[in-house]
Amino acid sequence: MGLFVARTEDRAGFVRELFDLLGVAQRLRQVDRVLIKPNIVSSEPYPSTTHPDVLAECLHLITQVHSAVVVADGPAVDAGDSRDILDAHPLKRVCDSFGVPLLDLTRAEMVTINTGTGMALEIAATALHYDFVVSLPVLKAHGVCLLTGALKNQFGFFSPAERVRLHLGGDIFRAVAEVNTLVRPSLFVVDAVETMLGTNEVRHGGVTAKLGFMLGGLDPVGLDAFGLGLIGRLDSGLSGKGYRDIPYLARAAELAIGDPEARPVFLEL
């Protein structure tokens, strides 16, 4: 399915190489509407949030061949007013520089969809209106889900009510895996140049650390499994864990969303 890794801090260079290797420009010419899903948890900057350089290079390359492009995410329900967060966010300035809207998924129309395995999930209808989704997560530890990366980034498509329910006793691990059967991004660019240890935000106790990698491709399970090995070198809570120790990752593998044993192609930038 495609799993590419580079030891680099050149985010833009990695994005360009990835787009070229995967023929993204040609793929974009065959679709109608493009949505870029960054990781905007709160007003905190990178690495809590997608780095501006990653979004900027994606927009640069995509808008060269496609005009129907939006960026969309919904901050965490405990982060404050979503409009204030998005309006003042560094990624909003990136969007403005390309004339691309930044949509607030927490205020979108919501629909409830059955995943096909008996699980009903309420998500933003926006996610279903685009036929090419680019997911831009940051690889981080997570206080509840243990790890956040390619698969967990689609949590931002859940309604605020669904997020609260899942954090208060719902099956959050199963939901993280199964939302990826409803919204299947066409491309993932995972930033692991810097990461957060312990949990995914400074305000909740996360600690910034340097990893020095960029990951990308088509397989979110493979990306997360490889990323788990990287972050496990630094995070004591993840050290020695395999994909089966992360419940949503194990579930995603069961659902054949990707291959946890995928072998990466290492790029020299």
8 Å CB contact between 263 and 3? yes
| Coarse DSSP helix, strand, coil percentages of the chain, rounded to the nearest 5 percent | 40, 25, 40
C-alpha dihedral (16, 180, 68, 64), degrees to nearest 10: 10
Q: Which sign, positive or negative, has the C-alpha torsion 139, 141, 147, 153?
A: negative
pLDDT of residue 1: 56
Domains in the chain, ordered, with CATH?
Answer: 3-255 (3.40.50.11440)
- For residue 182, the Cα-to-chain-centroid distance in whole angstroms is 15
Q: Which pairing describes strands 187-197 and 207-217: parallel, antiparallel, or unpaired?
A: antiparallel
8 Å CB contact between 82 and 72? no
What is the per-residue DSSP string for 142-154? ETTTEEESTTGGG
8 Å CB contact between 161 and 123? no
Q: Minimal CA–CA distance to 181: which of 128, 245, 105, 243?
A: 128
- For residue 255, the Cα-to-chain-centroid distance in whole angstroms is 19
Is the bond preceding 45 in cis, omega lying within 30 degrees of 0? no
Q: What are the residues facing 190 on neighbouring strands? A: 215
Residue indicated by tokens 């966010």: 89
pLDDT of residue 169: 83
pLDDT lower than 70: segments of the chain? 1
**Lookup: tokens for 22:** 């995967």
Residue type at 71 in one-letter notation: V
Angle at 35 between CA 263 and CA 186, to 5 degrees: 25
The Cα 92–Cα 84 span in angstroms is: 11
pLDDT of residue 2: 81
Distances (CA, A) of 99 to 25, 37, 106, 176, 229: 20, 16, 22, 31, 38
Q: Minimal CA–CA distance to 267: which of 51, 2, 1, 46?
A: 2
The pLDDT tens digits of the residues spanning 29-82 come to 999 999 999 999 999 999 999 999 999 999 999 999 999 999 999 999 999 999
Distances (CA, A) of 169 to 87, 144, 187, 241: 32, 11, 31, 24
Q: Minimal CA–CA distance to 57: which of 13, 25, 23?
A: 13
